[in-house]
Structure 1
Amino acid sequence: MSATLIQVTPFVLCADLERQIGFYRDILGFTLGFQAENYAFLRRDGAAVRLLECPPRPDGTPLGHEHSFYIDVEDLDGLFQQLKPQLDQLPPERVRAPFDQPYGQREFHVLDEDGALVFFGAAIAG
């Protein structure tokens, strides 16, 4: 029998675990499944993230500055409308509303508390 891959779960580095849990839970609608001293696991439907609290970088660069991940969704515009009241609480430069990409995906983007870019996307019907 061959092994089967079932999910990719990104580790998301953060400076303040409680603050980052709040973002993924209260803004993006994830549910906290487990929390330890410097680690948390959150899930929403078939997507999950693992948060890892780390010391700040010596140069002051945000921990998520070079990190991004993509979450494929069904009904992208419906999800954006569902999240919009929470997203409106963020500074406008942290949210990019739905738009079409030339490679056949419709996306919206959100920066988390430590600068990681979260892409939400769905194939454009057609």
Structure 2
Amino acid sequence: MAEMTQITPFIYCRDLEAQRHFFERILGFTCGFQADNYAFLRRDRVAVRLLEVDFDLSDERREQMVYIDVDDVDALWAELEPALSTLPEGRVRPPFNQPYNQREFHVKDEGACLLFFGMAHPFPGDS
């Protein structure tokens, strides 16, 4: 039987260059391909496909959410925090514990996507 190996979401944006630079500069992704209104970016085993669209993304019904599982959310936060601190207020939520046994931080991208970075219990240091 064939094995599924990865899911790569399409993330809508109004400005492909701004969105691509956000993923590269803030989140440490590398652009592997870009043409016209499309870009493919990767970091480690995670990839995203950015798609520039000409429709209004400000409508809350068009908000997208992507959950990225990580092996150590606090280490990733420590790595990204200097770049995340340059974003406008309200676009970043620092690490916190969720009641559904995840530790997460949240980042709003340049468009209409909320990115969740999280890991499951047990948290480092828990016994």
Match of 2:3 in 1: 4
Are 1:104 and 2:105 counterparts? Answer: no
| SS class of match (1:79) | helix
Match of 1:121 in 2: 118
How large is the RMSD of aligned CA atoms in angstroms?
Answer: 1.6
Are 1:66 and 2:63 counterparts? Answer: yes
Give the drift of 1:61: 2.0
- Counterpart Cα distance in 2 of 1:64 and 1:6: 29
Match of 1:88 in 2: 85
CA contact (8 A) 2:105 2:117 kept: yes
Amino acid at match of 2:31: L
| SS class of match (1:92) | coil
CA separation of 1:118 and 1:103: change in aligned 2, threshold 3 A: same
Amino acid at match of 1:35: Q
Give the drift of 1:63: 8.8
CA contact (8 A) 2:30 2:42 kept: yes
CA separation of 1:38 and 1:63: change in aligned 2, threshold 3 A: farther
- Counterpart Cα distance in 2 of 1:117 and 1:66: 8
| SS class of match (1:81) | helix
Q: Could you list the runs of 5+ residues in structure 1 that have no partner in the other structure?
A: none
What is the TM-score when the length of structure 2 is the normalising length? Answer: 0.91
What is the TM-score when the length of structure 1 is the normalising length? Answer: 0.92
Give the drift of 1:64: 8.8
- Counterpart Cα distance in 2 of 1:64 and 1:27: 26
| SS class of match (1:50) | strand
Match of 1:53 in 2: 52
Q: Could you list the runs of 5+ residues in structure 2 that have no partner in the other structure?
A: none
CA contact (8 A) 1:34 1:41 kept: yes
- Counterpart Cα distance in 1 of 2:26 and 2:61: 17
% same residue: 55
| SS class of match (2:90) | helix
